[in-house]
Amino acid sequence: MYRERRKSWNFFQVFNYTIIFLLCLSIILPFLNILALSFNEGTDAQRGGIYFFPREFSIENYIEVFKQSTVLNATTVSVFRTVVGTVVSVFLTAMAAYALQTKTLPGRKVITFFIFFTMLFSGGIVPYYLVLTDLNLTNTIWVYIIPSLYSVWNILIMRTFFQGLPDSVVEAARIDGCGEFQIFLRVILPMSKPVIATIALFNAVAHWNDWFSGSFYVRDPELKPLATLLQEMLTRQQALADALLRNSGAYAALEKITVTGDSLKMATIIIVVAPIILVYPFVQKYFAQGVNIGSVKE
């Protein structure tokens, strides 16, 4: 009986590890292929046959991306909106979540329902744009930050985590004379590092990868974030390559260039993804704890 259970458990473990290994390969191998293509000469890459290592190593793709004078300014805009937007959003979201989990808050259930109700319906892109225009947010740096300060999903995640914290610690702080804001700063936030790291990572990734807001709500080139700028550069490069192919003598002209639309696309992907990959190891410990919020009740 014991041996049968041990064999079945070993088989279950092998099966799980095999599935996890295959899932990891499905993520890592395409990324290695993109990395290899980004460091390979563009015209050579069009011949195919490149998988995980570049055949003709070249950094011309990255030089072409950073050759633009606006790249540094766009990077500054992206860093500013990511840092400021993430910090302010996480702090305000935590304050809202703490208020909603407080049992003495009048009308707590009604307020929670109306907040949750906004997840079910959307006014649409046109009313949203009109609201941003009336608030004088369009074509400003704050159009990236203010509209995304609150996320209902993030508020509910934080509220669930706060509800799992021991009430005795909060009561002890009240007995010691701490007000609600002091309890929030000195007790709740230090005990909530996993959920804060999780929400901060979600916000940072959303800010860094967002190209839509810069493309539709901002006209000033100086306010374009990096994701929007790279997307526009990619579109122009692809259009140029397509136009060149339609002209006579295109193949002879293509032999003189080393950067193509596809190779630029690969370099663009690496540039956008690299900062997130570099930051993730520092928050992995807290993120792994935060994703299990609400899964176990004691």
**DSSP label of 248:** T
Residue 208 sits at the vertex; the CA angle it makes with 89 and 273, to the nearest 5 degrees, is 140
- Least confident window among 94-98, 277-281, 287-291: 287-291
> What domain count does the chain have?
1
The two three-digit tokens of residue 70, written as one number: 């606006």
Residue 23 lies in a domain: no
CATH number at residue 243: 1.10.3720.10
Residue 137 lies in a domain: yes
Residue 49 lies in a domain: no
Residue 39 lies in a domain: no
Burial of 278 (0-12, 13-18, 19+ CB in 10 A): exposed
* pLDDT tens readout for residues 225-267: 888 887 777 777 666 666 655 664 544 444 455 666 677 778 8
Residue 178 lies in a domain: yes
The letter for the amino acid at 295 is S
* pLDDT tens readout for residues 123-165: 788 888 898 899 998 889 999 999 988 888 888 888 888 888 8
The two three-digit tokens of residue 41, written as one number: 């000469």
Rounded Cα gap, residues 273 and 71, in angstroms: 16
Domain with 168, as residue range(s), is 69-290
Asked if residue 263 lies in contact with residue 42, where contact means CB atoms within 8 angstroms, the answer is yes
Residue 63 lies in a domain: no
* pLDDT tens readout for residues 14-62: 888 889 899 988 888 888 888 888 888 777 777 777 778 888 787 887 8
Rounded Cα gap, residues 67 and 65, in angstroms: 6
H helices of 42-192, where?
42-45, 60-66, 71-101, 108-117, 125-134, 152-163, 167-175, 180-183
Asked if residue 139 lies in contact with residue 217, where contact means CB atoms within 8 angstroms, the answer is yes
Q: Tell me the average pLDDT across 175-199.
A: 83
Residue 57 lies in a domain: no
Rounded Cα gap, residues 242 and 247, in angstroms: 9
Question: How far is the CA of 106 from the CAs of 33, 55, 94, 101, 110, in angstroms?
Answer: 56, 67, 19, 11, 9
Residue 47 lies in a domain: no
